[in-house]
Amino acid sequence: MSTDRIAGVLLQEVYITRRSLEVIVDLFYTSAVTVVVFGFVSRFLVGVTHQNAGSYLILGLLLWEVIRVNQYSLTVGSLWNIWSHNLSNMFVAPLTVTEYVVAHLLSALLKTFVIFCGISAVAAWGFHFDILRLGVLNVALFFANLTVFAWSVGLVLLGVIFQVGTRIQALAWGMIFLFQPLTAAFFPVTALPPVVRAVAYALPPTYVFEAARRALDVPGVNWTSIGIASAENLVYLAAAVGAFSWMVARSRRSGRLARAEG
Amino acid sequence: MEMLLEVHDLVKVFGRARAVDGVSFTIPKGRIVGLLGPNGAGKTTTIHMLLGLITPTAGRIVYFGREFPRHRSACLQRINFASSFNTLQGRISVWENLAVFARLYGLRAPRAKIESLAAYFGVTALLHARYWDLSAGERTRVNLIKALLNDPELILMDEPTAALDPDIADKTLALIEEIRRVSGVSILYTSHDMHEVTRICDDVIILDRGRIFAHDTPLGLTKRIRTATLTLTFDGDRAVVERFLTERGARFRFTHPFSVSIETTEQALPSLIFDVATTGVWITDIDVKKPTLEDVFLTIARGPRRVD
């Protein structure tokens, strides 16, 4: 066994880690976000005797998956074309960028719906948590709002990928986790420090998660929270569409769209 | 003559660099036009602008009499693209890939079209293989099927034989020639391989530093270099030949004690051979190397002023 050769491989690891956003996001960033999320969860759970406190976790997880799967499907769906060097082939067909995005949004919606139904069934049968306790209308409103938020984030990330290529591909599946603590997915917003709370209230999912937890305790639709979430979502979606269009036009001008896969 | 593509004063500026600088050309129906140039000449940028992947800084692109990209979808419906640098989705089968593109081009009977093209290109047995399991040659054939799915009137080909071994490249060229013969499709063809371009192109555009340096037939371009290399093998006194050529002011070098290569012009060839023969040596072999498109290309790549 040679220490030189082991050092050589370690050196390569250092170089790769320094230059790979994938490694940084998948290892360091994910670990950091997980610690932050479960730190807040622990803070909330200490001394809590609320009967539904345990349910908050599984409820938050089920609803969180609506965001994650939608966003992942929208963004990584395009990465498959980039990884295969097929994106140019798609866009030199009569396909427009709008048609391409609409197809991916529909695909994301369908996958999310199927997965949400599946994991909800697992939660109901395996862990006696029936999400329909919240009411079908509530679940539909939560699903719709979380989907629109995920699409907004996904569109911006897709625009960034078209701009800079696969260098930032790790953000396609990692970026969304930033919103897990910020939207108070698994714990009440009051568990967040006041400064972070202000950020949380600027994000539509926060109102959805709050309304969902409340619906566990008090049946009925919290129209105020849903109204604020929907209004914020409209703003976010409009901004995301604008940003996406601008980035696509810019990447066509700069030639980066053509080079994204290269 | 019907023009399928008209390019007027196309310009692309990246920062301070003018990648394409006032390029204009046309592609008539049924012609194969080669786009040649050294690395960085602007070939791929031009192709990408023609496909709408890059927005031009200035200039006009007109397909079938319609402005591009204003009528983007209508224009792209009638053209297609094949490149060795763009592949199809690796994880799905050849059939699935082609079915996707058949839908993108709005084919009414995709199954029949895919099957007939697969049979034509000899890949029927591969239709259900995953694309990334195919060899380079098989992928090229599948890419050509993709490029023909919509019965295009014009195909843009960006180095379609790059990365292929000479045998597969030759077969691919034969297929392209066959496609052209059968369907009458026009092709804009970029390549670094001069033999390919000489073989299949009717016209050649040579780009250099973003500008059109020359636009002619392959023969017309080679005629721009007037020199030819005459190699004479002889039986006799080498010193006599050497003295004769020196007195004549010829540029020559002996490649063998009894073999001399002389740089001359095509017009001067007959008299030169005759004059050498009059020195008393016995000429046993004559070989004339005329300039090729490769010579033109290399001359341009190494300095534009050296061509005509």
pLDDT for A206-261, tens place per residue?
999 999 999 998 889 999 999 999 999 999 999 999 999 999 999 999 988 887 76
Tell me which DSSP letter residue B261 carries.
E
- Percentage above 90 pLDDT, chain A: 60
Residue in chain A nearest B15 by alpha carbon:
A254
pLDDT the model gives residue B305: 43
pLDDT the model gives residue A262: 57
Mean per-residue pLDDT, A157-172? 88
CA distance A43 to A60: 16
Residues 6 or more apart whose CB falls under 8 angstroms from that of B144 comprise B82, B121, B160, B172, B175, B176, B179
CA distance A176 to A205: 12
Q: Min CA distance, A246 vs chain B (Å)?
A: 13
Q: For chain B, say whether A137 makes contact (Cβ under 8 Å).
A: no
Residue among B6, B22, B12 nearest B212 (CA): B22
Tell me which DSSP letter residue B130 carries.
B
- Tokens of residue B99, six digits: 């079915």
Asked if the ipTM is above 0.90, the reply is: no
Q: Min CA distance, B76 vs chain A (Å)?
A: 5
CA distance A156 to A42: 32
CA distance A169 to A158: 9
Q: Min CA distance, B148 vs chain A (Å)?
A: 12
Positions in chain B short of pLDDT 50: 304-308
State which H helix or E strand residue B98 sits in: helix B94-104
A93: chain B residues, CB-CB within 8 Å? 76, 101, 104-105
Q: What is the pLDDT of residues A85-126, one digit of tens each?
A: 888 889 999 999 999 999 999 999 999 999 999 999 999 998
pLDDT the model gives residue A186: 92
Q: Where are the alpha helices (DSSP H) in B134-283?
A: 136-148, 166-183, 194-200, 218-222, 238-248, 269-277
B196 vs B37, B161, B292, B294, CA distance in Å? Answer: 14, 9, 12, 10
B89: chain A residues, CB-CB within 8 Å? 80-81, 84, 86
> How far, rounded to the nearest angstrom, does the alpha carbon of residue B300 sit from its chain's CA centroid?
15
CA distance A31 to B125: 48
pLDDT the model gives residue A198: 93
Kindly report the pTM of this predicted structure: 0.83
Q: What does the mean pLDDT of chain A come to?
A: 90
Question: Do A196 and A113 meet the contact criterion of CB atoms below 8 Å apart?
Answer: no
Q: Which residue has the higher pLDDT, B60 or A82?
A: B60
Question: Do B179 and B151 meet the contact criterion of CB atoms below 8 Å apart?
Answer: no
In this model, does residue A194 exceed pLDDT 50? yes
pLDDT the model gives residue B261: 92
CA distance A101 to A156: 12
